[in-house]
Structure formats: structure tokens, C-alpha cells
Amino acid sequence: MEGDADADKHGSERLAFANAALALAGHEIVDPALRDIVERAARRQLTASEAIHIARRRSQGG
């Protein structure tokens, strides 16, 4: 199990990677709620499946 400092470091690294990949593709997440979902997934507070489900539900108004 990762310690809190390691979890924060790795979460930040995963988030930086995702942001770089989006930027290379010409995209950026500007919606604060979606940004929060991505950050929580990067910190492994949500699984990828949970994050996708929440984001889809939000974007579909549900």
C-alpha cells in the first residue's frame, strides 16, 4: 500500500501525464466538476470505470 506522500506524488504524476496527453491532442478539461473527477481517478479515489460512469451521467444531465 502506498503511503500518503507516495500516493500524492504518483497521483500528481498520473494527472500530469493525462494533461500532457490531452494537450498533445489539442484538448483540455475546463469543466471544474469533470476536472475533479479526473483528479480523483488519478489519485485512485475512483476507478476508471467509476470515473467514466460519473462523467457520462454528468454530461447527459443525470
Residue 23, all three cell numbers: 494537450
The confidence score (pLDDT) of residue 62 equals 64
pLDDT(5) > 90: no
Q: What is the pTM of this model?
A: 0.77
Residues 29-45 have pLDDT tens digits of 999 999 999 999 999 99
Residue 57's pLDDT band, with cuts at 50, 70 and 90, is very high
Hey, where are the domains in the chain?
4-59
- Mean pLDDT for the stretch of residues 1-8: 68
**Could you write out the DSSP letters of every residue in 7-61?**
HHHHHHHHHHHHHHHHHHTT-----HHHHHHHHHHHTTSS-HHHHHHHHHHHHTT
